[in-house]
C-alpha cells in the first residue's frame, strides 16, 4: 500500500516536471494546446492511483480493522460491566457500614455480591456480615438494598 502511494506521488511529480519543461519550450502560439495536453496528463497521473490500488486488499484491511474495532468495543463493554459491579458492591458495603454505625451495631467487615439482571444492570444480591447479628440492620438491608434475609449471612469472629 505504501509502495503504491509512493509510486503515485512520483508519477505526479514526474508529470508536473515534464509539463513544466514542455510549457517552457513551447512557443507562445502553441501554449494553449500544450496546456490542454498537460492538463490531461496531470489528470491521468492524479487518477492513476485508482488503477493501481488493489480493491480486494483494501477490503481485507477494512474487514480486519472492523473486526479489531469490534473486539476492542466488546472488551471495553466487559471491562465497564465488571467495574460497574465492583463500584456497586463497594458502595453497598459502605452503605451497610454507615447504617450499622448509625444503629450502634459493630461490624468487623461486610462483603456484598452483585448479580446481573435480565434487564441489563447490576443489583445487590447477597451479603456477608461479620459481627453480632442485628435484626434491625437486617431489616434495613432488606428494605433499602433489596437483599432478602435468606441471602444475608452473619458470622462472628469465632465463626458462629
Over the stretch 48-61, which tens digit does the pLDDT of each residue have? 766 655 556 666 77
Segments of the chain scoring below 70 in pLDDT:
1, 49-59, 157-160
- Residue whose entry in the numeric block shows the C-alpha cell 513551447: 26
CB-based contact 100:94 (threshold 8 Å)? no
Fold observed for domain 82-155: GMP Synthetase; Chain A, domain 3 (3.30.300)
127, with CB counted inside 10 A (0-12, 13-18, 19+), is: buried
- pLDDT on residue 58: 63
Which residue from 75, 148, 88 is spatially nearest to 122, judged by alpha carbons? Answer: 88
CA gap 46, 32 in Å, rounded: 21
CB-based contact 20:35 (threshold 8 Å)? no
Helices (H), 1-30: 2-25
CA gap 46, 12 in Å, rounded: 6
- pLDDT on residue 138: 95
pTM value?
0.56
Amino acid at each position: 500500500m505504501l509502495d503504491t502511494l509512493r509510486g503515485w506521488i512520483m508519477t505526479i511529480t514526474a508529470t508536473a516536471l515534464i509539463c513544466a519543461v514542455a510549457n517552457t519550450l513551447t512557443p507562445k502560439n502553441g501554449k494553449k494546446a500544450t496546456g490542454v495536453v498537460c492538463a490531461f496528463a496531470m489528470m491521468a497521473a492524479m487518477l492513476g492511483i485508482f488503477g493501481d490500488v488493489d480493491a480486494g486488499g483494501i477490503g481485507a484491511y477494512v474487514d480486519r480493522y472492523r473486526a479489531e474495532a469490534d473486539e476492542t468495543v466488546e472488551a471495553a463493554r466487559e471491562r465497564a460491566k465488571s467495574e460497574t459491579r465492583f463500584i456497586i458492591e463497594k458502595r453497598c458495603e459502605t452503605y451497610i457500614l454507615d447504617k450499622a454505625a448509625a444503629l450502634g451495631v459493630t461490624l468487623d467487615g461486610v462483603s456484598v455480591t452483585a448479580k446481573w439482571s435480565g434487564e441489563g444492570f447490576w443489583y445487590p444480591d447477597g451479603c456477608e456480615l461479620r459481627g453480632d447479628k442485628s435484626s434491625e440492620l437486617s431489616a434495613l438491608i432488606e428494605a433499602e438494598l433489596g437483599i432478602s434475609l435468606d441471602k444475608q449471612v452473619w458470622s462472628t469472629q469465632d465463626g458462629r
